[in-house]
Amino acid sequence: MLEIAGLSVRYGKHLALDDVALKVGRGEIVVMLGANGAGKSSLLKAVGGMVKREPGASIRLAGTELAGLPAHRIVGAGLALVPEGRGVFGELTVRENLALGAFPHRGRAAEADNFERVQNLFPRLRERLDQAVRTMSGGEQQMVAVGRALMSAPAILLLDEPSLGLSPLMCKELFQALARIRDDGTGVLLVEQNARQSLAIGDRGYLLEGGRVVGSGSAAALGADPAVRAAYLGVAHGEAA
Amino acid sequence: MLIVDVLLAGFTLGGMYALIAMGLTLQYGVARIMNLSYGEVLVMSAFGTWFAVTRLDWNPVAVLLASLPLGYLASWLIYRVLMMPLVRRSGAGPALEVDSILATFGLLFLLQGVLLLAFGGNYYSYSYLSQPVDILGSQVAANRLVVLGFAAAIGLGLYLLLTRSRLGTAVRAVAVAPRFAPLVGIDVWRLSAIAFGIGGALVAGGGTLLSMFLPFSATMGVVFAMKALVVVIMGGVGNLLGCLVAGLMLGFAETLVARFVDPGLTLAVNFALFLLVLLLRPAGLFGRVAR
Ligand SMILES: Nc1ncnc2c1ncn2[C@@H]1O[C@H](COP(=O)(O)OP(=O)(O)OP(=O)(O)O)[C@@H](O)[C@H]1O
Ligand SMILES: [Mg+2]
C-alpha cells in the first residue's frame, strides 16, 4: 500500500538517510528498529514532508506518487505523522486538537464516527475533552497525538517512538490501541526503541543502521535473530532468552 | 450623570482600541508580519467612508458593511503580493520580522503620501447621528452608541469565528505552533494570508467606525498604529482577550485623565500604563513568557 524507494536525506554534508526502500501494507504494523542517530526520525519526517528529501525519492501510496507534495498535502493524501515530541497544539484543548485532525478533507466525511472511535480507543480522553493539552501528562498527550492523526482517517499511520517516556502501564495501553488500529485496517509504520514490545505486536520489521536498511523480516524472525537480540533486545550472543 | 458619561466614553474609545488591536494581533501573531502601515489602512478607510458618505450619499452603516470585505481583500492581496516574497525568503525564520518592518514602513509612506496628495493635511469629518440621546440622565451622541454596538458585534463575531469554527481553530493553531500545523494538513501560508486579511477587515471596519464619531487627518495613522501596538503588547501577542482587556484599560485611562486631569496628558498616561504592565508582566497581561 505504501511503497517507498530511493529515499535519502542530507543535513549539509551529512547523509542521514541513504537510499531507503520499504513497504507497509494495509492492516499491518511494520516496526523500524535502529540505534540512536540511525536516521529513524529523519525517515518519518522525510516521508511526511517535514524535511527536504534528496531528489529521486519515490513515495507511493496505493499507486499515487506523493514525493512531490508539500507537507500539508501529505496528510490529506492518507499519510498521518505523529512526530518525535508529538507535535500537538498545547495551547488548544483536546477537542480542538482532535477537530483539527479532521482538517483535511478526507477526515470530514466520517468525522463523528472517528471522534467516537478515538474516544473508545483512549477512554481517558473522553473525560478530558476540554482540557488544554499542555496541562496533560506525557502519556495523555501521546494519546491526543495519535488520536489527532486518526481523525484524518489515514491509510497509513507513521509513529515516531510513541512509547518514549511512558510508564509500562501507559505503554501497554498504547500498544494495545495500536493493535486495534491495525485490526481496523490502517497500516502502521512504527519507529521504536522499545524493540521487545514493538516486535511483539508488529507483523514485520526493518533494521536501520547509519541511514541504511541493513535487514528486514517478519517480527518473529527478527525477534529470534541473535544479532537483533544482541543489539536491540539487550540479550548477549548465545544467551538464552 | 458623570459615571454614565465616563462609562460610555471609556467603552467606546476602549472598544475601538480593542477592535483595532485585534486586527494587528492577528497580523502579527498569526501571519507574523509587523505591519507598520496598519494605521494608514485605518485612515484610508476613514477617508473612503467620508468620500462615500459626503459625495456618494451612502449611509455610514452601509459603508461599514462594504469596508469589512474590502479591507479583507486588500490586505489579503498585500500579503500575497508584497509579503509572500519576504515570507518565502525567510523560510519562517526571524528575518521575516525585520523584513516585514522595512517593507511595511515603506508602505506607510506610500499610503500616507497618497492620502496627503488627495486630501491635504486638514482634519475631515462628517455629521452622522450627532443628535444627543438621553441615557440615565446623560447626553450621548447617538453615533457613539452605534459605534460601540458595532465594535462589540464585530469583536464578538471574531471571537466566535476563532473559537467555534474549524477555520478559526486552524488560525489559532498557526498562531501557537506553525511548525506543527502541516501535520494536520494546514497550509500555513494560506492561513496566514487569511489571518492577515481578517486583520485588514478589522482595521478597515475600525476606520469606518472611527469616522462616524471622530475627526481624522491623513497623518494620524501613526498614532493609532502605535496605540494598537501598545494594546497588543500589553495584552500579550496573539491573544484576543488580552486585546479586549488592554484596549478597555487604555480607553478608560484616557477618558478618566482627559475628564479629571488634563486632556494633554492622555498619551503620557498611555505609556505609563504600558510600562507598568510590562514591568509587572513582561509577556503582557495574558501572555506566557515561553511556550
Ligand atoms: N536538523 C538536523 N541537522 C543536522 N543533522 C541532523 C538534523 N536532524 C538529524 N540530524 C542527524 O541525522 C542523524 C539521524 O538523526 P535522526 O533524528 O533521524 O536519528 P534517530 O534514528 O531518530 O535517533 P533517535 O533514536 O535518537 O531519535 C543523526 O546523526 C543526527 O545528528
Ligand atoms: Mg528519533
| B132-190 tens-digit pLDDT | 888 877 888 888 889 999 999 999 999 999 999 999 999 999 998 999 999 999 999 99
Q: How many CB pairs under 8 A join A and B?
A: 71
What pTM does this model have? 0.90
**Interface confidence (ipTM) of the complex:** 0.90
B-chain CB neighbours of A102 within 8 Å are 166
Neighbours of A156 (CB within 10 A): 23
pLDDT band at B92 (very low <50, low <70, confident <90, very high): low
pLDDT digit string (tens) for B239-280? 888 889 999 999 999 999 988 888 888 888 888 888 888 888
Residue B131 scores a pLDDT above 90: no
Atom of ligand 1 nearest to the CA of A43: 18
| CB of A81 less than 8 A from some CB of B | yes
Identify the pLDDT of residue A105: 94
Q: Is residue B290 part of a domain?
A: no
Calpha distance B96→B103 (Å, rounded): 10
B-chain CB neighbours of A71 within 8 Å are 182-183
Calpha distance B67→B105 (Å, rounded): 23
* CATH number of B154's domain: 1.10.3470
Q: How many domains does chain A have?
A: 1
Nearest CA in chain A to B173: A89
**CB distance A11 to ligand 1 below 6 Å:** yes
| CB of A52 less than 8 A from some CB of B | no
Domain boundaries, position B160: 2-280
Smallest Cβ–Cβ distance between A76 and the set B172, B176, B185 belongs to B185
Q: Is residue A1 part of a domain?
A: no
**CB distance A163 to ligand 1 below 6 Å:** no
Task: Say if the Cβ atoms of B176 and A71 lie within 8 Å.
Answer: no
Per-residue pLDDT of chain A (241 residues; tens, 9 = 90+): 999 999 999 999 999 999 999 999 999 999 999 989 999 999 999 999 999 999 999 999 999 999 989 999 999 999 999 998 899 999 999 999 999 999 999 999 999 999 999 999 999 999 999 999 999 998 899 999 999 999 999 999 999 999 888 888 889 989 999 999 999 999 999 998 888 889 999 999 999 999 999 999 999 999 888 888 888 877 665 554 4
Q: Is residue A73 part of a domain?
A: yes
Calpha distance B260→A189 (Å, rounded): 69
- The SS3 of residue B235 is helix
Calpha distance A171→B15 (Å, rounded): 50
**CB distance A37 to ligand 1 below 6 Å:** yes
What's chain B's average pLDDT? 90
Q: Is residue A2 part of a domain?
A: no
HEC profile of B180-197: CHHHHCCCHHHHHHHHHH
**Residue A191 and residue A43 in contact, taking contact as beta carbons nearer than 8 Å:** yes
B-chain CB neighbours of A73 within 8 Å are 185
Q: Please tell me the total number of residues recorded for chain B in this structure.
A: 291
A205 forms beta bridges with A31, A217
Residue B289 scores a pLDDT above 70: no
Smallest Cβ–Cβ distance between A104 and the set B185, B188, B291 belongs to B185
| CB of A148 less than 8 A from some CB of B | yes
Distance (Å) from the C-alpha of residue B290 to the closest C-alpha of chain A?
12
* CATH number of A179's domain: 3.40.50.300
Which ligand has the shortest distance to the CA of A33? 1
Q: Is residue B291 part of a domain?
A: no
Q: Cell numbers of B165, please? A: 469554527
Neighbours of B238 (CB within 10 A): 23
Calpha distance A181→A50 (Å, rounded): 24
Task: Say if the Cβ atoms of A71 and B182 lie within 8 Å.
Answer: yes
Which ligand has the shortest distance to the CA of A194? 1
Closest CA to A32 of A177, A214, A183: A214
Q: Is residue A12 part of a domain?
A: no
Q: Is residue A7 part of a domain?
A: no
Q: How many domains does chain B have?
A: 1
Domain boundaries, position A218: 26-51+69-232
Identify the pLDDT of residue B213: 92
CA B112 to centroid of ligand 1, rounded, Å? 50
B-chain CB neighbours of A74 within 8 Å are 182
Return the residue whose CA atom lies nearest to atom 26 of ligand 1.
A36
Identify the pLDDT of residue B287: 74
Q: Is residue A109 part of a domain?
A: yes
pLDDT band at B288 (very low <50, low <70, confident <90, very high): low
Residue B290 scores a pLDDT above 70: no
Q: Is residue B120 part of a domain?
A: yes
Closest CA to B196 of B12, B15, B37, B17: B37
Q: Across residues B57-68, what is the average pLDDT?
A: 95
